[in-house]
Amino acid sequence: EAGVTQFPSHSVIEKGQTVTLRCDPISGHDNLYWYRRVMGKEIKFLLHFVKESKQDESGMPNNRFLAERTGGTYSTLKVQPAELEDSGVYFCASSQDLPGQGAQDTQYFGPGTRLTVL
């Protein structure tokens, strides 16, 4: 079974440009998460999709970030326009619900996209 994949692995852009990150979750996982780790700091939650709906977007830093999950499969995270402080590693994770338990299974992570804004 394929794991969570992310594209690109690295992206270097200039301040003011636009970047789109993509995440393909494990097949069948309804839950998809985006996280970010800024250099030297802890991994922070950005948002959570259940299928195509945004369940929790409380971690999105500002309106320069736009996440979509059309059709409930892969997700994209667009940063427009990028700022210097957006540099970091963006992780995607997916999980499935545990039937009848009102809970979710373990989150499985992708390799991350390292974004550098110059």
Partner 1 sequence: AQTVTQSQPEMSVQEAETVTLSCTYDTSESNYYLFWYKQPPSRQMILVIRQEAYKQQNATENRFSVNFQKAAKSFSLKISDSQLGDTAMYFCAFMKHGGGKLTFGQGTILTVHP
CA 10 distance to own-chain centroid = 14
Q: Are β-strands 65-68 and 75-79 bridged in parallel, bridged antiparallel, or unpaired?
A: antiparallel
Q: Residues 56, 61, 73, 80: which binds partner 1 (CB under 8 A)? A: 56
Q: Does 12 bind partner 1 (CB under 8 A)?
A: no
Phi, psi of 28 (to 5 degrees): 95, -10
User: With binding defined as CB under 8 A, does residue 75 bind partner 1?
Assistant: no
Give the residue, chosen from 45, 64, 76, 116, that forms a contact with partner 1 under the rule CB under 8 A.
45
Q: Is 71 helix (H, G, I), strand (E, B) or coil?
A: helix
The answer to whether residue 38 forms part of the interface with partner 1 (CB under 8 A) is no
Q: Which is nearer to partner 1, 17 or 114 (CB)?
A: 114
Q: Which sign, positive or negative, has the C-alpha torsion 107, 108, 110, 111? A: positive
Chain residues in the site for partner 1 (CB under 8 A): 3, 31, 33, 35, 41-45, 48, 55-56, 59, 89, 91, 93, 95, 97, 102-104, 106-112
